């Protein structure tokens, strides 16, 4: 029996998936969550060649996707040195019940991670959330303790309390980024050479109080919404989206047909007449 991985149906209504993900992005995200190399921890070794083979993409396409997911979406981190991938919020969604067996498994998987920077990356992402499973909190506290023993670094903090000082500070930083000024939007659009009108974009979100489409949540990273707006604008003008994977060149298959020998020609002639 194969290993089961949990993917919430809310994946399909997530704002980032709806507004930013291309069809290739959706497939790649589901692949990262469910491929046979995954672990309960959400950090596992996998090479680009293996990804390309299993998805059916080229190495170039896989490299583009990894770069996009790491630098634009900030939901994974890929270690080139150790060929390991870390999914930022995997533990937040994958652990449902928890308990001692799950805790022991996570501790075992943590010990196998070669690039310890990936642990700090995951831990830092989880510190922004206060709805973690108790088992996850225990394991993250263990990572924090080990990390502090090694370099006295307090970046990874997961508290059993509802919030932590670090969480509060980061949330305050996010609030300061929203809303941006019109000049900041113009500068970003100019830097990326996007085709959208900064004033139109700014007026739209200003009129919606900087909330998501359903009006329930404040948007956190306004630049992602600029990217999404630009992609829709390109589509409406018939241009290929910036994050689309280049089409592959399809080459015709050449088959060499051997010439029929004299003996076979004679036999066919006896059966069918002239050939």
Same domain, yes or no: 46 and 154: yes
Q: How many domains does the chain have?
A: 2
In a domain, 160, yes or no: yes
State how far the Cα of 144 lies from the Cα of 123, in Å rounded to an integer: 8
User: Do 142 and 107 touch, CB atoms closer than 8 A?
Assistant: yes
Q: Which pLDDT score, from 0 to 100, does residue 22 have?
A: 93
Point out the domain boundary residue: 140, 156, 175.
Answer: 175
Q: Which pLDDT score, from 0 to 100, does residue 242 have?
A: 52
Q: Which pLDDT score, from 0 to 100, does residue 215 have?
A: 75
In a domain, 195, yes or no: yes
Same domain, yes or no: 25 and 95: yes
User: Do 127 and 164 touch, CB atoms closer than 8 A?
Assistant: yes
Q: Which pLDDT score, from 0 to 100, does residue 162 have?
A: 39
Question: Rg of the chain's alpha carbons, rounded to an integer?
Answer: 26
In a domain, 109, yes or no: yes
Range of the domain at 112: 9-175
Same domain, yes or no: 90 and 110: yes
Same domain, yes or no: 111 and 23: yes
Q: Which pLDDT score, from 0 to 100, does residue 154 have?
A: 45
Residues 6+ apart with CB under 8 A from 78: 66, 70, 84, 85, 86
User: Do 182 and 202 touch, CB atoms closer than 8 A?
Assistant: yes
Same domain, yes or no: 71 and 200: no
Supply the pTM of this predicted model. Answer: 0.54
Beta strands in the chain (DSSP E): 43-45, 76-79, 84-87
In a domain, 230, yes or no: yes
pLDDT averaged per 10 residues in sequence order, the chain, 275 residues: 78 90 94 93 94 94 94 92 92 78 88 91 80 79 65 44 47 58 87 88 83 79 87 77 54 58 72 62
In a domain, 219, yes or no: yes
Helix axes 59-67, 23-34, angle to 10 degrees: 90
Same domain, yes or no: 48 and 91: yes
């Amino acid at each position: 029996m194969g290993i089961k991985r949990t993917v919430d149906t809310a994946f399909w209504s997530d704002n980032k998936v709806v507004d930013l993900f291309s069809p290739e992005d959706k497939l790649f995200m589901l692949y990262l969550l469910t491929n046979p190399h995954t672990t309960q921890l959400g950090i596992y070794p996998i090479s680009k060649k293996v990804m390309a083979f299993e998805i059916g993409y080229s190495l170039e396409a896989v490299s583009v996707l990894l770069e996009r997911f790491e630098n634009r979406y900030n939901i994974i981190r890929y270690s080139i040195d150790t060929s390991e991938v870390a999914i930022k919020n995997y533990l937040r969604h994958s652990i449902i019940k928890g308990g001692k067996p799950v805790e022991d498994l996570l501790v075992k998987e943590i010990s196998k991670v070669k690039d310890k920077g990936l642990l700090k990356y995951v831990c830092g992402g989880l510190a922004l959330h206060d709805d973690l499973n108790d088992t996850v909190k225990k394991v993250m506290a263990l990572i924090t303790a080990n990390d502090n023993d090694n370099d006295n670094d307090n970046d990874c903090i997961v508290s059993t309390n509802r919030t932590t000082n670090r969480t509060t500070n980061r949330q305050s930083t996010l609030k300061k980024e929203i809303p941006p000024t019109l000049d900041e939007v113009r500068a970003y659009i100019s830097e990326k050479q996007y085709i959208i009108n900064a004033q139109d974009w700014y007026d739209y979100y200003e009129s919606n109080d900087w909330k998501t489409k359903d009006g329930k949540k404040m948007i956190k990273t306004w630049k992602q919404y600029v990217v999404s707006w630009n992609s829709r604008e390109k589509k409406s003008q018939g241009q290929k989206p910036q994050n689309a994977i280049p089409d592959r060149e399809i080459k015709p298959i050449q088959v060499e047909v051997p010439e029929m020998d004299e003996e076979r020609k004679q036999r066919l002639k006896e059966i069918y007449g002239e050939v």
